[in-house]
Structure 1
Amino acid sequence: MKTSGGELHNSVMDLFQKDKVVKICAPMVRYSKLAFRSLVRKYDCDVCFTPMIVAADFMQSIKARDSEFTTNHSDRPLIVQFAAPDAQTLADAACVVAPFSDGVDLNCGCPQRWAMSAGFGACLINKPELVKDMVRHVRNQVDNPNYTASIKIRIHKDLRRTVDLCQKAESAGVSWITVHGRTSDERHQPVHYDAIKTIKDSVSVPVIANGDVKRLSDVEEVHRLTGVDGVMAARGLLANPAMFAGYEETPLQCVWDWVDVSVEQGTSFTCFHHHLIYMLERVTSQPERKVFNSLSSTAAVIDYLHDTYGHVGGA
């Protein structure tokens, strides 16, 4: 577990009190790590999540902690998302990261078969009493009243079951609820914003909408349709990390900011390159993409960016 700084910022719940929609970077496997969080924070992202971390592995291995959780003093507000099948495992992991973060989130939405068969992810939406117990354990065992315990869920076909889950979590002291507006069987179908609105109307804690947010105008439209307190983006931010600041496509300054952050933090080439492939997809032609995708070193990428786009700021 690589950290620097440990000051707790009591600002996560404060954000929901302000007269604005809170903009959140989703937990993304491989992608929402420290360097990318540092980038989106430059472009009006209010809160960032870590990628999903398997709590049991995290607790058993120092090596897992070092590779899975890296942060620094400016990486705030930060929510650490865990996958866990039982309350004590979640609470133990929460206690370890609490000095370096602002809250933990329980993943109740990952639809992948391996996660479901291990007893976590989206299968937890069918275990409301267990989710309630998990939230309560974190609340009782983390020795900081400002530390948040949230859940991220998918919806049921029978929405009454989702409302029941959310109300049980609320009764256990959940800080807020993020709703991915699809069932665990749905992948690219339209998001059920009506379901998110129903959930928002059924609880008094903040609700975050997740799904198909690709530009800042989507944030405003989702808020209009659902009345939620915040909006979370995943693929939209990968394609355009400056999306929350109102840019329709990744600005050149953001590309160079990514180069600066990556070089400074020692980001692996694979991660550095993959993010740029996403960021440049909308602004490059197919022949250009083919050339760029074949580059195999950080130096070659930086030379390509200089030659193709010129230079703005940093690196």
Structure 2
Amino acid sequence: MSVACPQVRTLTKKNDPLHIIRTRKLTHNRPVTIAGPMVRYSKLPFRQVCRHYNVDIVYTPMILAREFVRNSHARMADFSSNENDSPLIVQVGVNNVTDLLRFAEMVAPYCDGIGINCGCPIKEQIREGIGSALIYNPDLLTSMISAVKSKYGDKLRLETKIRIHDDWDQTVELCNLLCDAGVDWITIHGRTRTTRSSVPVNLDAIKYITEKIKCRDVPVIANGDCFTMKDFQKILDYTGVDGVMAVRGLLDNPALFSGHDKCPWGALELFWHYAMEFGGLPHQLLLHHLHCMFESMQLEKNLHNELMNIKTTTELIDWFDRYFILKRADEDGFSEAIEIPYKNKSKV
């Protein structure tokens, strides 16, 4: 007896992540660009900013499946979207088939795919068998992939974002198992579970694994140390992957994939606009986004120090209007400025 597939968002050529990955070179003369999951920070307002600047596919922050399926408050806090938030991959931290299937049923109507987090190095997650613990538990990981693909088939895309093993051949074998289980594409972060982010990403490892994977029709995405378009091209040329995922680079500069070497002021105006339109961002999260973008812009140090001491969002808006020309969405030139538009630079 067949089981009816739960409601899912209809995939078309426009929003099917796998189709986009496979065809971006033909349609846009470049490989696919992806904004990866950022703990707490890749919420809806920031995702919408990234989409303005040549990001093809965007991820949510990692959501813990167990909390999400059991707690309505967690669902309200962890996930929000809208009809323009597509293509969207919801990343999940999970350690069993039951929670993953329940999670998939809840989010499938509102996303274009699910990404299983197999890369998080946080010790608490590893102890729970989540994140990078999964690259050492291939039987569990492949069983979760098989369960989702058996239920949804091509109606819901499924990705795994993995880290590398010390023995690269172990990663190759894992990727082959993922392909056999039905994964739609694989993202490889070029660091091991214990490698610090300050250590350069291992492009040799990504290149080796990509070349050795037996299943050539499953795309591979590279992740790690993409901060400029020069980095983007270097990663592509060296590894031969199908696309690049940026994370920290986009947090500082959401316009990275548009060729901006530093965050343009227009991106900051867009972020303010979406943060106010959609709501729901705690003040400290809002402040951190602005801090990262201002660091990229090289804001005057005394103003940066002032910024980090502001305690409420209302004060933050007043501070912006005091020092800068912060255009609203209905004003001419909104989101177009590149440099910081100080109101009176001589008094800064």
Which category of TM-score, normalised to the shorter sequence, fits these structures? over 0.9
- What's the Cα RMSD here? 1.5
**Aligned equivalent of 1:46, options 56, 66, 72:** 56
Could you tell me which amino acid in structure 1 is paired with residue 285 of structure 2?
A: C
Aligned equivalents of 1:215 and 1:104: distance in 2?
27
Measured after TM superposition, the shift of residue 220 of structure 1 is 1.1
Measured after TM superposition, the shift of residue 312 of structure 1 is 4.2
Aligned equivalents of 1:77 and 1:275: distance in 2?
22
Aligned equivalents of 2:183 and 2:125: distance in 1?
22
- Structure 1 counterpart of 2:195: 186
- Structure 1 counterpart of 2:245: 232
- Structure 2 counterpart of 1:209: 222
Measured after TM superposition, the shift of residue 9 of structure 1 is 3.8
Q: Superposed, which structure 2 residues align to 1:66-145 within 5 Å?
A: 66-142=76-152, 145=154
Aligned equivalents of 2:168 and 2:22: distance in 1?
27
CA displacement, residues 75-97 of structure 1 (integer Å, 9 cap, x when unaligned): 00011111111222212211221
Could you tell me which amino acid in structure 2 is paired with residue 8 of structure 1?
A: T
- Structure 1 counterpart of 2:160: 151
Measured after TM superposition, the shift of residue 273 of structure 1 is 1.4
Measured after TM superposition, the shift of residue 158 of structure 1 is 0.4
Could you tell me which amino acid in structure 1 is paired with residue 58 of structure 2?
A: C
**Aligned equivalent of 1:297, options 297, 312, 318:** 312
Asked whether the 8 Å contact 1:9–1:77 carries over to 2, the reply is no
| Secondary structure, aligned partner of 1:145 | helix
Aligned equivalents of 2:278 and 2:226: distance in 1?
28
| Secondary structure, aligned partner of 2:208 | helix
Aligned equivalents of 2:271 and 2:127: distance in 1?
37
Asked whether the 8 Å contact 1:181–1:195 carries over to 2, the reply is yes
- Within the alignment, does 1:271 sit opposite 2:285 as a pair? yes
Measured after TM superposition, the shift of residue 304 of structure 1 is 2.8
- Structure 1 counterpart of 2:334: none
Aligned equivalents of 2:329 and 2:127: distance in 1?
46
Measured after TM superposition, the shift of residue 99 of structure 1 is 1.1
| Secondary structure, aligned partner of 1:23 | strand
| Secondary structure, aligned partner of 2:41 | coil
| Secondary structure, aligned partner of 1:179 | strand
Measured after TM superposition, the shift of residue 61 of structure 1 is 1.1
Asked whether the 8 Å contact 2:118–2:130 carries over to 1, the reply is yes
CA displacement, residues 202-230 of structure 1 (integer Å, 9 cap, x when unaligned): 33211111111111221111001111111
Asked whether the 8 Å contact 2:9–2:108 carries over to 1, the reply is no
Measured after TM superposition, the shift of residue 181 of structure 1 is 0.1
- Within the alignment, does 1:63 sit opposite 2:73 as a pair? yes
Aligned equivalents of 1:80 and 1:311: distance in 2?
32
CA displacement, residues 254-273 of structure 1 (integer Å, 9 cap, x when unaligned): 11111111111113322221
Asked whether the 8 Å contact 1:7–1:73 carries over to 2, the reply is no
Q: % of aligned pairs identical?
A: 38
- Structure 1 counterpart of 2:169: 160
CA displacement, residues 139-184 of structure 1 (integer Å, 9 cap, x when unaligned): 0123x52311110100000011100000000001100001110000
- Structure 2 counterpart of 1:28: 38
Asked whether the 8 Å contact 1:52–1:82 carries over to 2, the reply is yes
Q: Which runs of no fewer than 5 residues in structure 1 stay unpaired? A: 1-5
CA displacement, residues 9-36 of structure 1 (integer Å, 9 cap, x when unaligned): 4321111222121111111111011111
Asked whether the 8 Å contact 2:172–2:212 carries over to 1, the reply is yes
Measured after TM superposition, the shift of residue 7 of structure 1 is 4.5
Could you tell me which amino acid in structure 2 is paired with residue 300 of structure 1?
A: E
Asked whether the 8 Å contact 2:232–2:244 carries over to 1, the reply is yes
Could you tell me which amino acid in structure 1 is paired with residue 166 of structure 2?
A: K
Measured after TM superposition, the shift of residue 198 of structure 1 is 1.6
Measured after TM superposition, the shift of residue 308 of structure 1 is 2.9
- Structure 1 counterpart of 2:341: none
Moved over 4 A (4+): none
Cα distance change on mapping 1:66 and 1:311 into 2, 3 Å: closer
- Within the alignment, does 1:280 sit opposite 2:282 as a pair? no
Could you tell me which amino acid in structure 2 is paired with residue 189 of structure 1?
A: V
Give TM-score scaled by structure 2 length: 0.85
Asked whether the 8 Å contact 2:10–2:155 carries over to 1, the reply is no
Measured after TM superposition, the shift of residue 313 of structure 1 is 5.1
- Within the alignment, does 1:172 sit opposite 2:206 as a pair? no
Aligned equivalents of 1:157 and 1:181: distance in 2?
11
Q: Which runs of no fewer than 5 residues in structure 2 stay unpaired? A: 1-7, 331-348
Moved more, 9-18 or 79-88: 9-18
Measured after TM superposition, the shift of residue 307 of structure 1 is 3.5
Asked whether the 8 Å contact 1:8–1:101 carries over to 2, the reply is no
Cα distance change on mapping 1:152 and 1:262 into 2, 3 Å: same
